[in-house]
Amino acid sequence: MRGLFLFCLSFCVSFPLMGQGRGGRTLRVMEWNVENLFDTVHDVGFHDEEFLPQGERRWNSARYLRKLKDISRTIAATATDDGVPHLVALCEVENDSVLVHLTRRSTLRNLGYDFVSTASRDARGIDVALLYQPAQFALFTQRNIIVPNGTNGLNPTRDILYVAGRIITGSGIDTLHVFVVHMPSRRGGTKGDRHRMIAARTLWNAVDSVLNVNAKARIVAMGDFNATARDAIFKKRSLRFTDDKRAHVGTYYYRNVWQWLDHIMISETVSYRSPAKPVTLPWLMEKNVNQLGKHPRRTFLGPAYHGGISDHLPIILDIDLSR
Write out pLDDT tens, residues 291-319: 778 999 999 998 999 999 999 999 999 99
Report pLDDT for 13: 37
* Closest C-alpha to 32, from 299, 245, 219, 269: 299
Asked if 160 and 180 touch (Cβ cutoff 8 Å), the reply is yes
Task: Give per-residue pLDDT as tens, 236-288.
Answer: 899 999 998 787 789 999 988 999 999 999 999 999 999 999 999 999 999 98
Task: Give per-residue pLDDT as tens, 72-95.
Answer: 999 999 998 778 999 999 999 999
Question: Is a pLDDT exceeding 90 seen at residue 156?
Answer: no
Report pLDDT for 17: 30
Tell how strand 252-254 and strand 271-278 pair up: unpaired
DSSP 186: S
Task: Give per-residue pLDDT as tens, 115-136.
Answer: 999 988 877 878 999 999 999 9
Beta bridge partners of 240: 266
Question: Is a pLDDT exceeding 70 seen at residue 192?
Answer: no
Question: Is a pLDDT exceeding 90 seen at residue 177?
Answer: yes
Helix H, strand E, coil C: the string for 193-258 is: HHHHHHHHHHHHHHHHHHHHHCCCCEEEEEEECCCCCCCHHHCCCCCEECECCCCCCCCEEECCEE
Question: Is a pLDDT exceeding 90 seen at residue 16?
Answer: no
Tell how strand 172-182 and strand 218-224 pair up: parallel
Buried b (16+ CB within 10 A) or exposed e, 17-28: eeeebeeebbbb
What pTM value is reported for the model?
0.90
Report pLDDT for 5: 29
Share of residues in the chain with pLDDT > 90 (%): 72
* Closest C-alpha to 33, from 204, 288, 231, 254: 254
